[in-house]
Amino acid sequence: MKKLVPWIVVLGILAIIGLWIANVYNGFVAAQEEVESAWAQVENQYQRRSDLIPNLVATVKGYATHEQETLEGVVAARAKATQVTVDPTNMTTEQLAAFQSAQGELSQALGRLLAVAESYPDLKANENFRDLQAQLEGTENRITTARNLFNESARAYNTSIRRFPNNLIAGIFGFEKRPYFEAEPEAQKAPKVEF
């Protein structure tokens, strides 16, 4: 019996280590799923914005027929933005930057379209246009919220896989750091206001 005690102790220690590894691994999987779920919400909000654009363009087109270049710019930016996709299970900083750049171009094109609309009082008074503009503004707020949630989920995941001794398990099983949404370079400079 005394000869079995060391083996029982070793087996007990191995069982505890095995349970710890399983617990850490499962925590990584849960955090990874949280990041992917948050990414799905980001895509959902961008898709909502993309779905609003054809109606907005059609409404503006009826009033601003000689603003064809601006309208085509919005349509082209929308097409480009919908073509750039990111695989949430294998997301890289470069993929996220390309996605963010395409969405930024679409935001700029929409800004130009809304600026053009200011020149048309009948368009600004159009109920459909006002409703679409309000929905677009609400969607932009939702996008910001979804991006923040994604960044928070990515931060929690990244922190968990980088902590010692969890980083050893993350390295063994191939859990890699997830990128963040970052502010556009233009956001670093304060706008210059002149009166």
Q: What are the structural domains, with CATH classification, of the chain?
A: 4-180 (1.20.1440.20)
Return the pLDDT at 33: 95
The Cα-based distances of 165 to 25, 71, 115, 156, 161 in angstroms read: 12, 55, 54, 16, 9
Return the pLDDT at 89: 85
Low-confidence ranges of the chain (pLDDT < 50): 187-188, 190-195
The model's pLDDT over 113-149, given as tens digits with 9 standing for 90+, comes to: 888 888 888 887 788 888 888 899 999 999 999 999 9
Return the pLDDT at 185: 57
Return the pLDDT at 77: 92
Return the pLDDT at 112: 87
Half-sphere exposure of 180 (CA within 13 A, CB side): 14
